[in-house]
Amino acid sequence: AGGASTDELIFTVDAPAPVVTGFSPVSGYVGDEVTVSGANFLADGTPVVKIDGRTASVKVGSTPTDDSITVTVPSGATSGYVSVTTGAGTGYSSAVFTVLLPAPTISGIDPTSGAVGASVAVSGTHLVDVYAVAFNGTPASFTYDAVADTISATVPAGATSP
């Protein structure tokens, strides 16, 4: 009576959740590498890194450590917080990673000549984010057609040929 028990009881300490303390660089294009810094990245399973909710793959040839993971900015990524998730939970960055947009390129114009007031179709890539169109330096009004992925610009008064 009153003696100590000799039965072993098992107590399991949960792994700590990941903590994201930063990332470098602070901005980049799709396909660029980003190194995420923090703690507990390997404490409970394989870490999953996301940029604004999009899963980023671990850089080929790199090995994640408990405090650093190098990933590639995924296709379709947009600017947002960086997160690291393991079986112990999810840690988020306090800063936003900025996904840079590629510069637009022009592959053609149709027609190639016209009078003031004429409509000109501009084709190319990355046109959706264009914010200004000019004819030889003279600003023009324009609209973006998402279906055709083209810009329709109106030749402005004062426009000249190069």
In tens, the pLDDT along 18-76 reads 999 999 999 999 999 999 999 999 988 899 999 999 999 999 888 999 999 999 999 98
- Percent pLDDT > 90 in the chain is 76
Q: How far is CA 34 from the centre of its chain?
A: 10
* pLDDT recorded at residue 5: 65
Alpha-carbon dihedral of residues 72, 74, 80, 82, nearest 10 degrees?
A: -40
Is the distance from CB of 50 to CB of 83 less than 8 angstroms?
yes
Looking only at the bridges linking them, the beta strands covering 54-58 and 48-51 are antiparallel
**94: left (phi > 0), else alpha (psi -120 to 50), else beta?**
alpha
Instruction: Using only the alpha carbons of the chain, give its radius of gyration.
Output: 27
* pLDDT recorded at residue 28: 97
> Within a 10 A sphere around the Cβ of 150, how many other Cβ atoms?
19
Burial of 72 (0-12, 13-18, 19+ CB in 10 A): buried
Is the distance from CB of 66 to CB of 21 less than 8 angstroms?
no
Is the distance from CB of 153 to CB of 142 less than 8 angstroms?
yes
Is the distance from CB of 141 to CB of 156 less than 8 angstroms?
yes
pTM, whole model, 2 decimals? 0.71
